[in-house]
Amino acid sequence: MRKIKIGDEVVYQPWNGKRRHASVEGIEICRNGEKYGRNVDSCDIDKQTGVLDLSDHHWIYFSQVVYIIKTKNNG
């Protein structure tokens, strides 16, 4: 179970390139393969499908998250 909240930081794997690090600015629960869905403040990325909007101006699917770095404000 990997829960994520807005404000957490992630290390993610782009489709082509080296791993990157960014903060989560938005979370959307979507149908598989889609980019737009229902905005949420937190979710379990292992039980849902969706996308994250990131501080580095990229968006990724939940499946691209390598690991989550919890921020102090988010537990």
pLDDT above 90 (res 6): yes
In whole angstroms, give the CA distance from residue 16 to residue 57. 16
pTM, 2 dp: 0.90
Number of domain units in the chain: 1
- Token pair 């939940």 in the structure block, residue: 62
pLDDT above 60 (res 31): yes
pLDDT of residue 33: 84
Strand partners, 29: 38, 50
* pLDDT (tens digit per residue) in 39-68: 999 999 999 999 999 999 999 999 999 999
Find the domain containing 13 and state its range. 3-74
